[in-house]
Structure 1
Amino acid sequence: MSKLKTLAAATALTLVPAMSMAMCAGKSHQAMSCADGMVWDSEQQACVKQVMG
């Protein structure tokens, strides 16, 4: 029985990080915040000057 528990624990420890990486696949990163007067431009992946109007 202890071999089965060891195998189950090893499997869980192997699969959990792989599953968490898969859940994050395809997500884009964002800037945490931009300076005043700046906004995040997802195409340029950078903060750019905000254009009013």
Structure 2
Amino acid sequence: MTTRTTLAALTLALLPTWAAAEGCHGGMKEVTASSCAEGMVWDAVKGTCVQQPTS
């Protein structure tokens, strides 16, 4: 019973650390206008780089 209680207490003590670490990365890839290749521009509606329109 003592081992189980110790493991439970340790887990509860470490949960905020794990949550904070996950919040920093979140598994999301961030793409910005500076990430677009030459001749491409950022389209905020589509959320991707698109061919730069020419006039």
Task: With the length of structure 1 as denominator, give the TM-score of the two structures.
Answer: 0.43
